Amino acid sequence: MDPIIQGKETWRYRGEKKDMYQVEHDELFASIRKGEPINDGVWMAHSTLMAIMGRMAAYTGQEVTWEQALNSQEVLVPSNLEWTMTLPSPPWRSRGRPSSRELT
């Protein structure tokens, strides 16, 4: 299916259909050859922090700021992991039920 934008002027992409994964690789390799490598590290870090913020908000029922997430002292992983251990699951927040968890 071709992307179509409808509105005042209807628009449809009519260009060559390319494999998005191949295009991504082509762009990366071209940038390296040019001496200006694409670095999405900051974007990936921000995306990951945003997901962590969503998790924090879901588990606490509170609004979470960027600064709160960056400065959180919450430990998400036990200090000594073992293959055979069972990890506890935190309680889910549900509408109308107060949270026993607070932001740390």
Of the pLDDT bands very low, low, confident and very high (cuts 50, 70, 90), residue 97 is: low
CA distance 71 to 76: 14
CA distance 44 to 10: 34
Q: Which residue has the higher pLDDT, 81 or 96?
A: 81
CA distance 103 to 12: 47
Taking the model in full, what pTM does it have? 0.58
> What whole-number percentage of the chain has pLDDT above 90?
50
| Closest C-alpha to 67, from 53, 78, 79, 54 | 53
What pLDDT was estimated at residue 26?
A: 96
CA distances from 90 to 59, 77, 83, 100 (A): 8, 12, 20, 10
What pLDDT was estimated at residue 41?
A: 94
Q: In whole numbers, what is the pLDDT of the chain averaged over residues?
A: 85
Q: Are 64 and 103 in contact (CB under 8 A)?
A: yes
